[in-house]
Structure 1
Amino acid sequence: MNDKQNNLDKFDKHLLALLQADGSLSNLQLAERVGLSPSPCLRRVQKLEALGVITGRHALLSPKALGLGLTVMIQISMDKHTPERFAQFEATVSGFNEVQQCYLITGQSADYLLKVVVPDMDRYQDFLLNKLTRIDGVSGVHSSFVMRRVVDTTALPLQYV
């Protein structure tokens, strides 16, 4: 366990669980739900932000409602395994709005795993041919198309904290 985890008590964990479920809760609502007065509750949330435990609050949008009906998991292989090649790839894909997540991975023949969201197959083909495969060093692309989201959460498992 790191120092951040050692300092989290039941109130902190409860606050984190509530904020993961609904980041729009006001301080007053949070205080009422965890059994604290508003001032100590606010101090705890500010402490969790200062520690980097809470990194932001975001609205979760529905891809389907916005016409983004195709989610693709893409395995990327690189031609060279150098820090410069990886840094250049990561900087480039960070600028692509279609990329929701990018992970450097091990244990596969691929080097990266990307989660990409686009409206349809035509837009995916455009993304693939005009953006992704044009990045220097990309030597292989394997695409898997998501048929259904079985588990799709941003919540972290707080029982281990």
Structure 2
Amino acid sequence: MDKKILRALQEDGKLTNAELAEKISLSQTATAERVKRLTRDGYVLGYTAKLSPKMLNRSMLVFVEIKLDRTTPEVFETFAEATKNNPVVMECHMVAGGFDYLVKARVADMEQYRRFLADSLLSLPGVRETHTYPVMEEVKETSAIGI
């Protein structure tokens, strides 16, 4: 039953408790209690609206590989804080392999990307090299986790 609730909420986070209860064939009281428990236990982290990048002039999606020249706790912390505080950065992941970080960013165009790269990434201490992958077509984009 919990999996049904989680699937339904991922599909439509705006469902009212009554709509959710009907969808999963459970009473409203039992549904509300389960949702409270799932939230309290950390399965549900929050609710957001999905916005249109095109309408907000952020149509260009880029992925950037970042290589650091030194991997000290201070460099990691500085890089992490800078990306967390940058509204252009949608995701930033420290990875194992041929580079240190993978950054996903949304910008208006290549000009804005070049400014972001120069001002926000290359200016950080420890950044040695970047490789940029502009997205030509978004084939699949979701935040849903398969349940």
Q: If the length of structure 1 is used for normalisation, what is the TM-score?
A: 0.89
> Which of these residues, 135, 148, 152, is aligned with residue 124 of structure 2?
135
CA positional deviation for 1:21: 0.7
Does residue 24 in structure 1 map to residue 8 in structure 2? no
Alignment of 1:1-161 (within 5 A): 11-107=1-97, 109-158=98-147
Q: Which runs of 5+ in 2 are unaligned?
A: none
CA positional deviation for 1:65: 2.4
CA positional deviation for 1:84: 2.1
* Alignment: residue pair count: 147
Counterpart CA distance in 2 for 1:155 and 1:48 is 16
Larger CA deviation: 23-32 vs 61-70: 61-70
Structure 1 residue ranges (4+ consecutive) displaced by more than 6 angstroms after TM superposition: none
Percent sequence identity over matched residues?
37
Pairwise CA RMSD of aligned residues? 0.8
CA positional deviation for 1:70: 0.6
Q: If the length of structure 2 is used for normalisation, what is the TM-score?
A: 0.97
